[in-house]
Amino acid sequence: MLITTIDQMHRWSAQQRRDGKQIGVVPTMGYLHNGHCSLIKCASNECDVVVTTIFVNPLQFGVGEDFERYPRDLQRDYTIASDAGTTVVFAPRTDEMYPSNYATFVDVGPIGEKFEGTFRPGHFRGVVTVVAKLFHITQPHLAYFGQKDYQQTLVIAQLIRDLNFDISMVVLPTVREHDGLAMSSRNVYLSPEQRHHATALYRALQAATNAINSGERRSHALAELMTKVIADNDHVRVDYAAAVQAGTLEEVTEFSSGEQAALLVAGRIGPIRLIDNELVTIP
């Protein structure tokens, strides 16, 4: 089923709750790939009904970013989502979500100001605003997100805590191509040559993971290693490479045994910006 209005989505979700059904939601911006499908399939296995939202959110795009050219194909997405186990696709228009008198936004504070927040000012303000709206509209019991956008998962977890949403958040591992490239809707922008160069981000994460398993504990050394691996490819420009505490994104001098580190990388190939991450428990 395709729903495009907030009123109809409200009524459908309310009826599911009255019927005692557990609702899972998978928020997306569309142009679905196997990473999205893994979320939908998991939601379908764990919930009675699944809502996949498809909305290219203008609030999370900055000046000069790719809002206008972001890939869109609702019929394709509807078919993929349905085949993966979606019950309802919620695909509202922009003016349905943000009417002309819209004026309310959500700010998650410091955790949204570093890394992606530094390079994309206002990005997480847009993310949490639309996710909060989607939570209210779809009324889910569980919400499913991918680890690929790791900082985003922490930001949304804080949103759920701080605004007291009665929602359980499920984060699933990043789904990768055969060569390690993290699946992303933006990968469609890459030429075959750029696609090859893009694997530098994954190779950087692998190098840092191997270094940790070989005894490296210094965060700056891990960051320098990842930066070098990416920078060795002349076609990729590094935005950041960091090794931080997984739960807080705080930078530490040295990791302790048993601690979980988040390895974060972001880079650009021409105008195309890609991010990736890996979580590693320190031996």
Residue in 53, 46, 124, 36 with CA at minimum distance from that of residue 88: 53
Q: How many CB atoms lie within 10 A of CB 156?
A: 25
Q: At what angle do helices 6-18 and 123-138 cross, to 10 degrees?
A: 50
Q: Please state the φ and ψ torsions of residue 244, each to the nearest 5 degrees.
A: -135, 170
Q: How many CB atoms lie within 10 A of CB 183?
A: 17
Tokens of 158: 């804080």
Q: Would you call 91 helix, strand, or coil by DSSP?
A: coil
Q: How many CB atoms lie within 10 A of CB 50?
A: 28
- Maximal CA-CA distance, the chain: 57
Residue in 196, 197, 201 with CA at minimum distance from that of residue 182: 201
Q: Would you call 243 helix, strand, or coil by DSSP?
A: strand
Residue 36 annotated to the active site:
yes
- Residue 246: which residues within 8 A CB-CB, separation 6 or more? 260, 261, 262, 279
Catalytic residue among 36, 123, 141, 197: 36
Catalytic residues: 36
